[in-house]
């Protein structure tokens, strides 16, 4: 092939691409720009979300809800990011216990610490709340708030998920983050209401969800001024202030938000009360339950006792059940 022909061919190809770009690309881009939920498959689930948001935002409609009442609350573990094989915070706790072990030689022969140091996860699952709280306090209390935040930052900087080999910045559910953004674009104020540690979620929420720390509600220990009369530093106490799970979630919502949500999303039995409390709102309300039924792309644990009751209630009450397999075009942001 002569150089001239190649050049000519190149020009023809360039022209062809230019024509294609004019004819095809803008339509594709426009379609994507018009669709606020591109990672959701078309169908009844997606339509139900879009229709609800339209109904409460349409000025003059009987179903209109003023922006200052558009409160949306989202569970975190299993609703916004992956919670299997175990909670991300458990990995942090285990890492901290191991790092602190040299200062506590007695842990080698004392439970529940021994199980952590032996990597005995089966035994860890058998511990009751009192023993687990010992691990929580040992790994996250008795230090200043600044020191704890520094330790969390170190953990998040290096931790990777054992199956997906990705860091926390890629382990959220892309469709749910699109839903958060879509709600905010429609005047909703979005909150996280997590059973997990409040400070732990606050550390990552601004970066991956666009949610500031003060809009994260979660379980928390107590704080106190290190010196009561000259309070320049807060110390984390080994006492529980709020377990923001199950019947604790409406309590966390009233304490931190001060009004009943208009929209709530969860995925397990620990979210039932938040969804009931939202559903009991006079006039409009929306309750959504994520069903983990996609072992190929994530995990399938919809038949686990921790989710079964919530799924049964959702069907009885008319809450929207989102099937990760059927309703999501892609699950994680790193999927092609």
Tell me how far apart the alpha carbons of residues 168 and 250 are, in angstroms, rounded to a whole number.
27
Bridge partners (DSSP) of residue 234 are 225
- How far apart CA 76 and CA 217 sit, in angstroms, is 10
Q: Which stretch binds a copy of itself (CB under 8 A): 3-11, 92-100, 115-123, 222-230?
A: 222-230
Query: Which residue, 161 or 249, has its beta carbon nearer to a copy of itself?
Result: 249
Residue 192 interacts with a copy of itself (CB under 8 A)?
Answer: no
Q: How far is the CB of 80 from a copy of itself (least distance, A)?
A: 18
Q: What is the closest distance, in whole angstroms, from the C-beta atom of residue 258 to a copy of itself in the complex?
A: 3
Provide, rounded to whole angstroms, the least separation between the CB of residue 282 and a copy of itself.
9
In the complex, minimum distance from the CB of residue 268 to a copy of itself, in angstroms, rounded to a whole number: 15
Task: Quote the radius of gyration of the chain (alpha carbons, Å).
Answer: 24
Q: Considering only the stretches 45-53, 113-121, 157-165, 247-255, report the one whose residues sit in contact with a copy of itself under the rule CB under 8 A.
A: 247-255
Q: Is 30 in the site for a copy of itself (CB under 8 A)?
A: no
Coil, helix or strand at residue 142 = coil
Q: Is 70 in the site for a copy of itself (CB under 8 A)?
A: no
3-state SS assignment for residue 194: strand
Shortest distance (Å) from residue 60 CB to a copy of itself:
23
Q: Quick check: bond before 146 cis, omega within 30? A: no
Closest CA to 196 of 147, 140, 142, 234: 140
Give the residue among 128, 132, 76 at the shortest CA–CA distance from 245.
76
C-alpha 46/C-alpha 9 separation (Å) is: 45
> Considering the rule CB under 8 A, would residue 25 count as an interface residue with a copy of itself?
no
Pick the binder of a copy of itself from 277, 286, 319, 332 (CB under 8 A): 277
Beta strand pairing call for 216-225 and 234-242: antiparallel
Of the candidates 294, 168, 148, which has an alpha carbon nearest to the alpha carbon of residue 221? Answer: 148
* Ramachandran class of 283: left when φ > 0, alpha when ψ lies in -120 to 50, beta otherwise: left
Interface region with a copy of itself, contact rule CB under 8 A, candidates 102-110, 112-120, 270-278, 327-335: 270-278
Note whether 264 binds a copy of itself by CB under 8 A. no
**259 and 71 in contact (C-beta within 8 Å)?**
yes
Kindly state whether residue 63 participates in binding a copy of itself, applying the rule CB under 8 A: no
Angle at 327 between CA 322 and CA 328, to 5 degrees: 110
CA-CA distance, 60 to 149, in Å (whole number)? 46
Report d(CA 256, CA 143) in Å as an integer: 24
Window contacting a copy of itself (CB under 8 A); options: 15-23, 84-92, 276-284, 295-303: 276-284
- Contacts of a copy of itself in 93-152 (CB under 8 A): 145
Residue keyed to tokens 């999303």: 265
Q: Does 220 bind a copy of itself (CB under 8 A)?
A: yes
* Candidate residues 60, 230, 305, 336; the one interacting with a copy of itself per rule CB under 8 A: 230
Q: What is the C-alpha separation between 118 and 283, in angstroms, rounded? A: 54
> Of 34 and 229, which CB lies nearer to a copy of itself in the complex structure?
229
Among 16, 61, 280, 306, binds a copy of itself (CB under 8 A): 280
Taking alpha carbons only, the member of 56, 60, 59, 95 closest to residue 72 is: 56
Which of 45, 89, 174, 215 binds a copy of itself (CB under 8 A)? It is: 215
Q: Does 256 contact a copy of itself by CB under 8 A?
A: yes
Q: Which stretch binds a copy of itself (CB under 8 A): 28-36, 83-91, 159-167, 191-199?
A: 191-199
Q: Answer yes or no whether residue 228 interacts with a copy of itself by CB under 8 A.
A: yes
Binding site for a copy of itself (CB under 8 A): 68, 145, 189, 191, 198-199, 202, 206, 212-216, 220, 222-225, 228-234, 241, 246-247, 250-251, 254-259, 273, 276-277, 279-280
């Amino acid at each position: 092939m002569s150089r001239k022909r190649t050049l000519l061919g190149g020009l023809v190809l360039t022209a062809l691409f230019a024509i294609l770009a004019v004819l095809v690309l803008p339509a594709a881009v426009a379609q994507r720009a018009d669709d606020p939920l591109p990672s959701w498959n078309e169908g009844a689930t997606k339509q139900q979300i879009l229709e609800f948001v339209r109904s409460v935002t349409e000025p003059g409609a009987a179903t209109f809800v003023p922006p200052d009442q558009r409160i949306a609350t989202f569970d975190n573990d299993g609703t916004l990011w992956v919670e299997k094989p175990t909670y991300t915070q458990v990995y942090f706790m285990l890492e901290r216990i191991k790092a602190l072990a040299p200062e506590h030689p007695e842990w080698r022969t004392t439970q529940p610490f021994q199980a952590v140091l032996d990597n005995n996860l089966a035994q860890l699952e058998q511990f009751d709340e009192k023993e687990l709280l010992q691990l929580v306090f040992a790994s996250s209390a008795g230090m200043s708030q600044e020191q704890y935040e520094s330790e969390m930052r170190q953990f998040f900087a290096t931790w990777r998920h054992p199956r997906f080999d990705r860091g926390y910045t890629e382990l959220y559910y892309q469709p749910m983050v699109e839903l958060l953004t879509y709600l905010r674009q429609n005047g909703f104020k979005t909150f996280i209401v997590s059973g997990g540690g409040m400070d732990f979620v606050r550390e990552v929420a601004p970066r991956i969800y666009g949610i500031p720390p003060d809009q994260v509600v979660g379980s928390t220990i107590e704080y106190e001024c290190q010196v009561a009369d000259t309070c320049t530093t807060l110390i984390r106490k080994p006492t529980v202030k709020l377990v923001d799970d199950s019947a604790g979630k409406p309590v966390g919502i009233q304490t931190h938000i001060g009004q009943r949500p208009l929209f709530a999303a969860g995925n397990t039995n620990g979210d039932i009360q938040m969804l009931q409390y939202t559903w009991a709102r006079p006039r409009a309300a929306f309750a959504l339950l994520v069903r983990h039924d996609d072992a190929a792309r994530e995990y399938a644990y919809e038949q686990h006792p921790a989710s079964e009751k919530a799924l049964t209630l959702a069907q009885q009450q008319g809450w929207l059940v989102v099937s990760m397999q059927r309703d999501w075009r892609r699950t994680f942001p790193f999927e092609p």
